[in-house]
Amino acid sequence: MRGIADYEFIRALGSGNHGHYYLANRPARLPIDADQVAVKVLAAESTATAFRRATRELKAFAAVRSPYLVAPYDAGQQDGVFYYSTAYLPGGSLASPASPLSTGDALRAAAHAARAAAALHAAGIVHRDIKPGNVLLHESGAQLSDLGLAQVFAEGVTLTGMGGLDAVEYVDPSLLLGEAPGPANDVWSLGMLVHRVVAGTGVYGPLPEEDGLLALRRVLSTPPKLSDALPEPVAALVRDCIAPTVERPSAGAVADRLDQIRDGVR
């Protein structure tokens, strides 16, 4: 794909959550300073209902003001395909950083993701897809991206479904079993993210990459096991993040604790 609407693609950035990402030149009509933007194009054809839902989701997300959230710029539909553009961060992500990260830098990025989640929660939104690939890096830290699973958790309002295999490790099992989403589910995901970026492993052992059903069964049948490589303050935080729902800290409290832990590893 060379472009969509008036976005001229420069190169592909990757795929995930039912879509493909591209680096694009900024259309002249967009009133922003950046010369380049990131564009997500949904892989499946967008129905009128899906277009309305996706647009509503983007508007809800865009209304949240936080330096820790990637800014959405624009959205549209062409030939039945939905797309949206956001700020482009060239530092890569926690899943694939452009340059090696120290433990302190990784903890700072995780703390910024937690602060982004706290801002969403204060606005009545749960992200539902916090994972290393959605924590985008820049010189001063990170921003939380990808609106693919963000959901306004007002009663009876569901905007999107579950994501791809790479998200399963980070999803609270209670969501996989049908529980209504809430802020505590994002806190679980933050705990899984911190475990992965500090220990380099997940809590379920290696998950099958080509068999979604088997991966799902593994997550639902295997109790989380924390790595012995985690320093105790990190292990304690992860344990609190995956405690019973009512006992979990808020996303803001997770961010504060990550900052305290980071102070100790500098």
pLDDT of 128 higher than 90: no
Q: State the Cα–Cα distance between residues 183 and 200, nearest whole angstrom.
A: 25
pLDDT at 14: 84
Query: What mean pLDDT do residues 96-113 have?
Result: 96
CA distances from 46 to 53, 54, 114 (A): 10, 9, 31
pLDDT at position 152 is 38
Predicted local confidence at residue 156, as pLDDT: 37
- pLDDT given for residue 82 in this prediction: 87
Which CATH topology does 3-87 take? Answer: Phosphorylase Kinase; domain 1 (3.30.200)
Q: Measuring CA to CA, which residue among 119, 27, 107 is closest to residue 70?
A: 119
Q: How far apart are CA 20 and CA 17, in angstroms?
A: 8
In the chain, which residues fall in CATH 1.10.510.10? 103-265
**What is the model's pTM?**
0.89
Could you tell me which of 118, 88, 104 has the C-alpha nearest to residue 258? 104
Q: How many CB atoms lie within 10 A of CB 29?
A: 7
Place of tokens 């890096």: 137
**Residue 134 has what DSSP assignment?**
G
Is the pLDDT at 164 greater than 80? The verdict is no
Q: Boundaries of CATH 3.30.200.20 in the chain?
A: 3-87
Partnered with residue 3 across adjacent β-strands are: 8
Domain 103-265 has CATH 1.10.510.10: yes
The residue among 159 and 32 whose pLDDT is bigger is: 32
Average pLDDT, the chain: 87
- Judged by average pLDDT, the poorest of 1-10, 50-59, 192-201 is 50-59
Cα–Cα distance, 233 to 266 (Å, whole number): 14
